[in-house]
């Protein structure tokens, strides 16, 4: 099946630990994104990547890091510097990496991260 | 930064009623997208609009790209229990080289028993 796969669905982090959320897409999309969603809230952009080996900070990048070594993969690391990491994390992708009209973004099923 | 104003923030309706929600902005957009999110799941694309004035339907859902390119609405006819969820609008700005798509804060739809 074509789509965006996030794993794990549920993740628990101890204080001071780094954790990595996986995102893989087989849609051959150029652009990939990570969003954070807090309960009852909208989506906030953490990082995005338009092309392999390149990525930009979104609105709330502090305490997070990403890599884009392969077109289909865009893992997100939540570092110990992120003081309030408990949230629902959504990975997304879209076809165009160069702007323009007609860009449509598709989402994975999300990952819940809880600090224990 | 640019913002999308989505309203209403929440709605409580009876099953069978029609629903209308909208998004507005002071900026012009060249793409409008509407999503539905069920609890604990990722948003699912409902309708994509790429042209000013475009009116598109998907079953009981209808969405329009406003003529001014600054707004869009989503209508749901004859609501059913599975329509419950959060509906998000999203828009892409013209000449937006970084492909960053802006999201509204969502409309939470409740259906009263």
* Section B22-43 average pLDDT: 93
Q: Is the pLDDT of residue A64 over 70?
A: yes
Shortest Cα–Cα distance, A112 to chain B (Å): 8
Q: Over pLDDT 90: what percentage of chain B?
A: 77
* Strand ranges, E, within A8-115: 10-13, 19-25, 31-37, 43-51, 54-57, 64-66, 76-78, 87-94, 105-107, 111-115
What average pLDDT is seen over chain B? 92
A27 touches chain B (CB under 8 A): no
Residue of B nearest to A54 (CA): B98
CA distance B53 to B46: 18
Nearest to A101 among B41, B45, B50 (CB): B50
β-pair type (B10-14, B107-112): parallel
Res A97: pLDDT: 46
Question: Where residue A1 falls among pLDDT bands split at 50, 70, 90?
Answer: low
Interval A76-94: pLDDT, tens: 999 988 889 999 999 999 8
Question: Where residue B113 falls among pLDDT bands split at 50, 70, 90?
Answer: confident
∠ Cα B91 A36 A6 (to 5°): 100
Q: Is the pLDDT of residue A47 over 50?
A: yes
Interval B78-111: pLDDT, tens: 999 999 999 999 998 876 555 568 899 999 999 9
Res A16: pLDDT: 86
Residue of A nearest to B88 (CA): A42
CA distance A104 to A111: 21
Res B99: pLDDT: 56
Higher local confidence (pLDDT), A99 or A63 = A63
* Section A93-115 average pLDDT: 79
């Amino acid at each position: 099946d074509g789509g965006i796969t996030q794993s794990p669905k549920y993740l628990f982090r101890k204080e001071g630990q780094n954790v990595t959320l996986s995102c893989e897409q087989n849609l051959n999309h150029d652009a990939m994104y990570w969003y954070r969603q807090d309960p009852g809230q909208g989506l906030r952009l953490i990082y995005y990547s338009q092309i392999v080996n390149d990525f930009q900070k979104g609105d709330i990048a502090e305490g997070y890091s990403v890599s884009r070594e392969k077109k289909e993969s865009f893992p997100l690391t939540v570092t110990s510097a992120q003081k309030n990491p408990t949230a629902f994390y959504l990975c997304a992708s879209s076809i165009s990496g160069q702007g323009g009209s007609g860009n449509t973004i598709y989402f994975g099923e999300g990952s819940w991260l809880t600090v224990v | 930064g640019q913002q999308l104003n989505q309203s209403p923030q929440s709605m409580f309706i009876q099953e069978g009623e029609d629903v209308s929600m909208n998004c507005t902005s002071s900026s012009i957009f060249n793409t409008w997208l509407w999503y539905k999110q069920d609890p604990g799941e990722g948003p699912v694309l409902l309708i994509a609009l790429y042209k000013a004035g475009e009116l598109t339907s998907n079953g009981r859902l209808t969405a329009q790209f406003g003529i001014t390119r600054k707004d869009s609405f989503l209508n749901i006819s004859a609501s059913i229990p599975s329509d419950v969820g959060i509906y998000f609008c999203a828009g892409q700005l013209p000449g937006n080289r970084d492909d960053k798509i802006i999201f509204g804060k969502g409309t939470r739809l409740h259906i009263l028993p």
